[in-house]
Structure 1
Amino acid sequence: MARQCSLTNVKGLVGNSVSHSQRKTKRVQQPNLIKKRIFIPEENRTVTLRLTARALRTLNKKGIHQFLKENGIKV
């Protein structure tokens, strides 16, 4: 399973680690993923999603139905 948000498809970014002597080596900056069970009242069922912390905050603010509708996602 990829380290990716189920709803927003956010993935890791590639950048450089820079030491004190300015040597650069590649590194990956991973998203802050959380495994969360969410109840969908319209369908009367629970789904398990891997969400970023930002997507979880948006879900708490807007609600699951509105968030899915705005992004055109079928669960």
Structure 2
Amino acid sequence: MSRRCELTGKGVQVGHRVSHSNIKSKHRFLPNLQTKRFWSTELKKFVTLKVATSTIRTIDKLGLDVFARKNGIKLK
């Protein structure tokens, strides 16, 4: 199972941890993914998605169907 938001595609980023003496070591920045059920008014059923918390806030603001339509995503 990949660490990727199913709606926005937000995934893992790679960078460095930098110490006080400027020594760099590899570090992975993981997205804050949550499994959440959303109600779709068009489908008239719950849809379970693995999404980032930033996406959850946007869906709460716009609604799932409007968000999917705006981003060209087909819900099943």
TM-score (normalised: structure 2): 0.92
Q: Which residue of 2 aligns with 1:49?
A: 49
Q: Which runs of 4+ in 1 moved over 6 A?
A: none
Instruction: Give 2:49's aligned amino acid.
Output: L
TM-score (normalised: structure 1): 0.93
In the alignment, structure 1 residue 18 sits paired with structure 2 residue 18: yes
The count of corresponding residues between Structure 1 and Structure 2 is 75
Q: Secondary structure at the match of 1:36?
A: strand
Q: Which residue of 2 aligns with 1:63?
A: 63
Q: Which residue of 2 aligns with 1:31?
A: 31
CA–CA distance in 1 between the matches of 2:6 and 2:38?
12
C-alpha RMSD of the superposition: 0.9
